[in-house]
Amino acid sequence: MKLMSRNARRAGVIFTFAMLIATVALFYVVKTEGFRAWSAVALSATVVATIVMYVVFYIRTGLWRFVHRDFAGYDEREAGVALGALRFAYAIFTVVALGLMLIASATAFEINVVLVAMLILTAHILPASVIAWNEPDIEE
């Protein structure tokens, strides 16, 4: 796994989720106000930034692979880290999903395909994000 400082990892996690939220928000803006030059540019930029962060921050550093590999391959410490991350991600995702269901059921808020796509991506990267956020710096 490629080494990064904890601060850099935390900045990466914050930036990725900020881009995810911005993509969804901008899509709703475009849908209600129609396509304008600034919104089209901003939406494209956030989508590109999200994809770049996914590839550079999660795939290339090995964070994504760490929580998506065969469980038999973990040593005791890795198993503890992965289990903690999965449990925390499960709890967070549960709250987010229930909140969205509640909003969708109680209000006229429309769930669209971009929100669902971002929710799927969030579910995929959450465990890796928890690890990136929590793991201490490694002394080289």
Partner 1 sequence: MRHIEQSKRRTLIVMNYIALVLCILCFVWATNTHGNVLAIILAALTFAGLIGTAFYLYYKTGYMFLANARNRQLLDERQSKERMQAVATSYAIYGVYSILALAFFTWFVNENGRTRIPVLDIDQAIFTLAIYLVNILPASIIAWTERDLPAGEE
Residues of this chain that interact with partner 1 (CB under 8 A) are 71-72, 74, 76, 79-80, 82-84, 86-87, 89-90, 93-94, 97-98, 100-102, 104-108, 110-112, 115-116, 119-120, 123, 127
Q: Minimum distance from CB of 70 to partner 1 (Å)?
A: 10
Q: Minimum distance from CB of 116 to partner 1 (Å)?
A: 6
Q: Minimum distance from CB of 37 to partner 1 (Å)?
A: 29
User: Which CB atom, from 4 or from 131, has the smaller least distance to partner 1?
Assistant: 131
Tokens of 62: 């090995």
Amino acid at 109: F
| d(C-alpha 99, C-alpha 51), whole Å | 26
User: Which CB atom, from 4 or from 127, has the smaller least distance to partner 1?
Assistant: 127
